[in-house]
Amino acid sequence: MYKVAAPEAGLNHAFFPGRIGLSSQVMKPNGPTHASNSLASFHFQRWIAGVGVALFMLKMAAWWVSGSVAILTDALESIVNMVAAGFGLYSLYLAAQPRDRNHPYGHGKIEFISALIEGTLISVAGIFIVIKAVENLIDPQPLSRIDLGIIGVAIAGAINYALGWEAERRGKKASSMALIASGKHLKTDAWSTAGIVAGLGLVFLTDLYWLDSVVALVFAGLIFYNGYQIIRSSVAGIMDEADDKLLARVVATLQAERQPQWIDLHNFRIIKYGSTLHLDAHLTLPWFMNVNEAHEEVERLSQLVQSRFGSSVELFIHADGCEPFSCAICTQVMCTVRQQSFRQARVWTVDNISRNEKHRLPPEPEAELSLPAS
């Protein structure tokens, strides 16, 4: 898609007789790679949902035979796991749907909403565990068959950790916030189970039953903190908060592979929609390039980004013609229309490419005239 841009105010048309503004949109997020990633994430989330039901039943059986409040809290968190897995499954189903008229940028944002719900449920579970543990400290309940309870929750914890590790790995590979959140949730659940097993082991060896509630309190705090982190990340995605680490990686790549004709890059923005990245930028090129030449440079930059960050990237790059002040930072050696000498190259950074203005150097100080001595 191309369009001729209106001349900017203050432009010297004698110097820029054929200046053209070009916008190039490169979209590949709905190709096979994006679809296969979303579908694979959806299928794995179904496994998470099914296993969650089985593990809940196993933990409830362990609580029934032991009477441990720590095991009960672990089982109650499994209810959260099942509900969260259901939300995650539905969100991944929607995220896998192609863009349509009502959702021109796709359905990826639903993953952030799913993660927000999951993080909230995790935090609520942590608060509930604190309440139950405090009640049990005030009014301790006798425990029985702790050994069977330990075996049951230990098996469930091992399965949860393995499933969570794989979910997080696949989520990072597919850039799926929902699957990453599910993986973090399951791993947190596994660590809390490990602590409960350790605490119950101490109770079994020492008969200090109050340790059961103390262990539950400690891991309730960890559960609540993990829920807060997931909520924080999901809200950042919904609000299109800048991902500084990702932005720095993209800028470093572009700076390392920068071409002499890429005079500057500005108004650079990245927005994440689930597993798809949307990148907007203005690229300043020599004013004398025609439309085809400018398009080739935009394509070169687009292909560079997609080769390093995957095909699920949508780019909208507007090509600007250079201005007379651009000569001071332009590194092209063979330019025959240079208006001033090259002074200094501008290194692209997150700060200067994010600004909505072309790069320029401050004017050189004028030489002071010395008056002859009288």
Question: Got the DSSP string for 72-100?
Answer: HHHHHHHHHHHHHHHHHHHHHHHHTSPP-
Q: For 208-234, what is each residue's pLDDT tens digit?
A: 777 777 877 887 787 788 788 888 878
The reply to whether 199 and 303 lie within a common domain is: no
Q: Which domain holds residue 49?
A: 32-238
The reply to whether 269 and 190 lie within a common domain is: no
Phi, psi (degrees; rounded to nearest 5) at 276: -105, 135
- Which residue among 238, 261, 292 closes a domain? 238
Nearest to 352 by CA among 336, 331, 329: 329
> What are the Cα distances from residue 259, in Å, to 53, 102, 148, 254, 331?
55, 39, 67, 9, 9
Instruction: Give the per-residue pLDDT at 31.
Output: 45
Instruction: Give the per-residue pLDDT at 241.
Output: 62
Query: CB of 26 within 8 A of CB of 45?
Result: no
Residue numbers in the chain where pLDDT is lower than 70: 1-39, 81, 84, 88, 92, 95-96, 104-108, 141-142, 175, 177-178, 239-242, 273-275, 310-312, 365-374
Q: For tokens 């080769």, what's the residue?
A: 307
Instruction: Give the per-residue pLDDT at 330.
Output: 92
- Which residue among 205, 238, 271 closes a domain? 238
> What are the Cα distances from residue 254, in Å, to 43, 249, 309?
35, 9, 12
Query: CB of 77 within 8 A of CB of 118?
Result: no
The reply to whether 204 and 299 lie within a common domain is: no
The reply to whether 288 and 170 lie within a common domain is: no
Is 6 inside any structural domain?
no
Q: For 230-250, what is each residue's pLDDT tens digit?
A: 888 788 777 666 677 888 888
Instruction: Give the per-residue pLDDT at 62.
Output: 86
- Which residue among 207, 238, 269 closes a domain? 238
Q: For 158-169, what is each residue's pLDDT tens digit?
A: 998 998 898 888
Q: How many domains does the chain have?
A: 2
Instruction: Give the per-residue pLDDT at 293.
Output: 92
pTM for the full model? 0.55
Is 4 inside any structural domain?
no
CATH number, position 284: 3.30.70.1350
The reply to whether 336 and 218 lie within a common domain is: no
The reply to whether 177 and 232 lie within a common domain is: yes
Phi, psi (degrees; rounded to nearest 5) at 70: -65, -45
Instruction: Give the per-residue pLDDT at 256.
Output: 92
Instruction: Give the per-residue pLDDT at 26.
Output: 46
The reply to whether 259 and 128 lie within a common domain is: no
Task: Please give the Cα distance from 51 to 182 (Å, whole number).
Answer: 13
CATH number, position 50: 1.20.1510.10
Instruction: Give the per-residue pLDDT at 11.
Output: 36
Nearest to 333 by CA among 324, 325, 320, 342: 342
Is 122 inside any structural domain?
yes
Is 370 inside any structural domain?
no
